[in-house]
Amino acid sequence: MFSIIKRLIISRNDSFDRALKFSPFFVGISIFIVVLSFLFKTPLGKTLSLGTPTAILVATIIAALIGYIAKFFLKRVKRNISGNNGEGIFRYIQVGTACYVALAQGANDVANAVAPLAVIYFFVKTGTVGDQVPVPFFLLLFGGVGIALGITMAGRRVMETLGTKITHLSNSRGFCVEFAAATTVLIASKLGLPVSTTHAAVGGVLGVGMARGMEALNLRLVYEIVFYWLLTLPASALTCMVIYKILQFILQRM
């Protein structure tokens, strides 16, 4: 995606006008994937029961419509965009892709956190565990609020690391990172694969950096991030063992 944007927009002298021209495509492709995700494997999708060709057609029409509405909006606000380059256009488009990332994170990370809790709740309530268990709405709400609070309390340092310390990110590069991370996570959600939005975002940042050459990356920081990812597995296991043993000891004394 970054190579396409660089070739079509950033490297051109009239990058502002070209960014405005291609803005329906960059907005529309995100909307297309989001609409498709709602038309498959969701309560809405089951209610509509659209076939694949029909779903693709509906997603294309909605994406094109919203894409051109976004272009009209960008034309209205272009007087507020400083300079005459395409980065100013992507600054506004990034607001939409940030919402796209939030949707993808809710679709996958909330499930990662809530799934074990749903099994425990089902077991306490029924005394059995099936192959599939229903997930009450209040548990999904609990998971979503929990992730939002976590980002509010401790997310700033992660954002600073991803946004400034691995490689230089402009608005167009940030758009590529957000689009790549959200699309990867959303597709994984549809396949039933538990993945990490943060890992996908780091992958997007690495991709943007490598597209400019390995020298554009802070490889030392990348190695540290990977090391800490690996460290979280035994650290989480050890913490869980300690908590379990403490609870077991307390319950045996009661």
C-alpha to C-alpha distance for 202 and 232, rounded to whole angstroms: 16
Same domain, 57 and 124: yes
Asked if 186 and 103 touch (Cβ cutoff 8 Å), the reply is yes
Band (pLDDT 50/70/90 cuts) for residue 205 is: very high
Q: Note whether residue 222 is domain-resident.
A: no
Q: Which pLDDT belongs to residue 84?
A: 64
C-alpha to C-alpha distance for 136 and 35, rounded to whole angstroms: 24
Task: Give the residue with greater pLDDT, 200 vs 130.
Answer: 200
Q: Which pLDDT belongs to residue 80?
A: 66
Q: Which pLDDT belongs to residue 85?
A: 76
Band (pLDDT 50/70/90 cuts) for residue 150 is: confident
Same domain, 22 and 100: yes
| pLDDT mean across residues, the chain | 88
Asked if 45 and 38 touch (Cβ cutoff 8 Å), the reply is yes
Same domain, 116 and 237: no
Q: Note whether residue 50 is domain-resident.
A: yes
Same domain, 185 and 243: no
Same domain, 252 and 171: no
Please count the structural domains in the chain: 2
Q: Note whether residue 224 is domain-resident.
A: no
Domain range spanning residue 244?
Answer: 229-254
Q: Note whether residue 44 is domain-resident.
A: yes
Q: Note whether residue 223 is domain-resident.
A: no
pLDDT surpassing 90 at residue 63 = yes
Q: Which pLDDT belongs to residue 82?
A: 59
Q: Note whether residue 60 is domain-resident.
A: yes
Tens-digit pLDDT profile for residues 72-131: 888 877 766 656 678 888 988 999 999 999 888 888 888 888 888 889 899 988 888 877
Q: Which pLDDT belongs to residue 253?
A: 87
Question: In terms of Cα–Cα distance, which of 94, 96, 89 is closest to 10?
Answer: 89
Asked if 194 and 104 touch (Cβ cutoff 8 Å), the reply is no
Q: Note whether residue 213 is domain-resident.
A: yes
pLDDT surpassing 90 at residue 162 = no
Same domain, 166 and 242: no
**Three-class secondary structure of residue 138 per DSSP:** helix
Asked if 144 and 110 touch (Cβ cutoff 8 Å), the reply is yes
Query: Tokens 């959303």 label which residue?
Result: 186
C-alpha to C-alpha distance for 24 and 6, rounded to whole angstroms: 17
Q: What percent of the chain has pLDDT over 90?
A: 32
Same domain, 35 and 74: yes
Asked if 182 and 101 touch (Cβ cutoff 8 Å), the reply is yes
Q: Which pLDDT belongs to residue 231?
A: 94
